[in-house]
């Protein structure tokens, strides 16, 4: 697979839509991230720079830039001496990240509940349907992106911009958190969809205690093994 920069041609009179332009390192990063999240590269597998650079048709400098971004997301372990290996977060690291998400999200969601409108619930429902379709096709990468969008609605809709800003600072880790959790708990992707539906049902009650409990259960009430 060779990654190239491509230009889109528009026919005269055709509607122009916004395009997402990415740099070569970003394109390589996105493809490698997709493969890791979808378990095409298993935990512990070594990623060979020379082989991948040749496959993508990019320089090793470009490839290393993508790998460094993956390392920041805890998806690979990258060292100069050992090279690059697909990694998973430890159970304690997963719990720590989930706890931070829980504190911020519960705080944003359970103050003034006027933000829970029918339109917001419909938006969350649409994200769940997208997540369901991804689960049926085994596309973990899309589930992660949809999870970020889903929870982003919950932390943004109440209008607490600083809380939302802090919450989104953790976005980069969520792919690793979800992939690691999936492996550690031995659950399938349809269970992820169910857990998000439970959260929407709790929000629909507009009861702050029910909502807070559901958010806690969503992030923290999970059976994970101890660290080795």
Reported pTM: 0.81
Residues 43 and 145 in one domain: no
Question: Same domain for 61 and 118?
Answer: no
Please give the C-alpha separations between residue 120 and each of 131, 197, 225, in angstroms, as whole numbers: 17, 14, 35
Percent of the chain clearing pLDDT 70 (strictly above): 87
Query: Is the pLDDT reported for residue 28 higher than 90?
Result: yes
Quick one: CA dihedral 197, 31, 167, 94, positive or negative? positive
Is the per-residue pLDDT at 212 higher than 90? yes
Residues 4-19 have a mean pLDDT of 38
pLDDT in tens, 140-150: 999 999 999 99
Find where tokens 């977060």 sit.
89
pLDDT per residue over 41-97, tens digit each? 999 999 999 999 999 999 999 999 999 999 999 999 998 888 999 999 999 999 999
Find where tokens 């991948």 sit: 52
pLDDT in tens, 104-134: 999 999 988 999 999 999 999 999 999 999 9
CATH number, domain of 179, equals 1.20.120.530
Are 98 and 199 in the same domain?
yes
The residue from 55, 86, 117 where one domain ends is 86
- Are 77 and 85 spatial neighbours (Cβ–Cβ below 8 Å)? yes
Is residue 191 located within the same domain as residue 118?
Answer: yes
Domain count, the chain: 2
**216 pLDDT tier (thresholds 50, 70, 90):** very high
Cα-based distances in Å from 104 to 37, 99, 100, 168: 25, 9, 6, 10
- Full domain range(s) for residue 68: 24-86
**Pair (129, 212) in one structural domain:** yes
Measured CA to CA, the distance from residue 24 to residue 3 in angstroms comes to 7
């Amino acid at each position: 697979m060779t990654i190239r920069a491509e230009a889109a041609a528009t026919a005269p009179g055709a509607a122009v839509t916004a395009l997402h332009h990415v740099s070569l390192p970003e394109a390589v990063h996105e493809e490698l991230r997709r493969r890791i999240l979808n378990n095409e590269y298993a935990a512990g597998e070594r990623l060979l720079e020379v082989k991948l650079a040749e496959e993508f048709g990019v320089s090793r400098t470009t490839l290393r830039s993508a790998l460094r971004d993956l390392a920041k997301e805890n998806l690979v372990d990258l060292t100069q001496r050992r090279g690059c290996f697909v990694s998973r977060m430890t159970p304690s690291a997963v719990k720590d990240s989930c706890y931070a998400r829980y504190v911020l999200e519960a705080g944003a969601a359970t103050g003034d509940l006027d933000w829970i409108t029918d339109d917001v619930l419909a938006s969350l429902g649409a994200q769940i349907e997208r997540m369901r379709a991804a689960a049926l096709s085994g596309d973990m990468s899309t589930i992660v992106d949809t999870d970020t969008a889903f929870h982003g609605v919950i932390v943004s809709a109440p209008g607490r911009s600083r809380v939302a800003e802090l919450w989104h600072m953790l976005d980069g880790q969520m792919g690793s958190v979800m992939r690691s959790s999936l492996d550690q708990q031995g659950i399938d992707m349809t269970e992820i969809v169910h857990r998000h539906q439970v959260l929407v049902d709790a929000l629909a009650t507009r009861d702050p205690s029910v909502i807070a409990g559901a958010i806690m259960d969503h992030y923290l009430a999970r059976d994970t093994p101890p660290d080795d």
